[in-house]
């Protein structure tokens, strides 16, 4: 029988704090450390590249507060805040974090928080939304991506299509001369998109609302010619409510 493991990352700008978090994580059998990150930008990259179940997150970091970074995320993992300041405790409740740890953190207290995350995951982690229920926190109309060490806001409705290039994706946005390039995969970004986006070919996701025409298995959007695979063509026609005469 396989043992349940929680993939996790640790985010802190101080190297000693990251080392201590790593040591604590490695002592908990059900925690699997994927990466330690020194800022929210590295954390965003890790979240895009891996399936992360739990994030240990510092609050006071240069460039962006951990709480602001957390609030910007759409597809959030479970989060345990680790900080030297108690002034953010009230705000943390609004962000639905699993626990709030004050530095220096004893291993017993760390272990207790980790077990809270495990219990929460067992009760809630297996709930998967159907396609009809697929939304992004049901209200958000944007998300953030990491672009050259900056978090860039992308509004869903501004996207025409997305092209996959191995470990990177190009996000094509209206009124923008060049696409936004970020390190991710189509599979990773697909989970963050609302229902009106569809993968039509191995390397392309399109915004169904932006389609101007379809001809000979090619989609026309804002001057771009996007191929549609044979296997996705029928699904595409259903998605746009096309009925054959």
Please tell me whether residues 220 and 116 are part of one structural domain: no
Same domain flag for 87 and 140: no
Q: How far apart are CA 207 and CA 196, in angstroms?
A: 6
Is 245 contained in some domain? no
Report pLDDT for 93.
60
Q: What is the per-residue pLDDT across 3-37, written as a single tens digit (0 to 9) for each?
A: 689 999 999 999 999 999 999 999 999 999 999 99
User: Which of the four pLDDT bands, split at 50, 70 and 90, describes residue 89?
Assistant: low
Examine the domain organization and report whether 36 and 98 are in the same domain: yes
Query: Residues 117-170: pLDDT tens digits?
Result: 999 998 885 443 333 334 443 446 888 888 877 778 889 999 999 999 988 999
Assess if residue 108 is contained within a domain. Answer: yes
Q: Is the dihedral of CA 20, 96, 93, 88 positive or negative?
A: positive
Residue 156: predicted pLDDT = 92
In a domain, 151, yes or no: yes
- Predicted pLDDT of residue 220: 94
For the chain, what is the domain count?
A: 2
| Residue 127: predicted pLDDT | 42
HEC string of 167-202?
CEEEEEECCCCCCEEEECCHHHHHCCCCCCEEEEEC
Containing structural domain, residue 177: 135-239
Q: What span, in angstroms and rounded, lies between the C-alpha atoms of 33 and 10? A: 8
52: its two tokens: 């992360």
Q: What is the pLDDT of residues 155-211, one digit of tens each?
A: 999 999 999 998 899 999 988 889 999 888 888 888 788 889 999 999 999 999 999
């Amino acid at each position: 029988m396989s043992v349940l493991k929680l993939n996790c990352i640790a985010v802190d700008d101080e190297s000693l704090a990251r080392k201590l978090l790593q040591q604590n994580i490695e002592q908990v059998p059900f925690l699997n450390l994927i990466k330690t990150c020194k800022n929210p930008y590295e954390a965003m990259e890790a979240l895009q590249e891996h399936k992360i179940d739990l994030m240990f997150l510092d609050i006071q970091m240069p460039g962006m507060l951990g709480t602001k970074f957390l609030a910007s995320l759409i597809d959030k993992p479970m989060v345990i805040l680790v900080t030297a300041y108690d002034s953010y405790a009230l705000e943390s409740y609004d962000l639905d974090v699993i626990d709030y740890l004050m530095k220096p953190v004893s291993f017993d207290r760390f272990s207790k928080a980790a077990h809270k995350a495990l219990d929460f995951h067992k009760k809630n982690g297996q709930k998967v939304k159907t396609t009809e229920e697929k939304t992004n926190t049901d209200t958000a109309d944007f998300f953030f991506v990491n672009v050259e060490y900056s978090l860039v806001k992308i509004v869903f409705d501004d996207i025409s299509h997305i092209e996959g290039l191995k470990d990177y994706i190009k996000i094509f946005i209206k009124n923008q001369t060049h696409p936004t390039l970020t390190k991710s995969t189509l599979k990773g970004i697909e989970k963050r998109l609302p229902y009106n986006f569809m993968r039509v070919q191995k390397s392309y996701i399109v915004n169904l609302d932006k389609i101007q025409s379809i001809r000979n298995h090619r989609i026309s959007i804002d001057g771009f010619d996007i191929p549609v695979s044979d296997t996705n063509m029928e699904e595409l026609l259903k998605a746009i409510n096309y009925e054959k005469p």
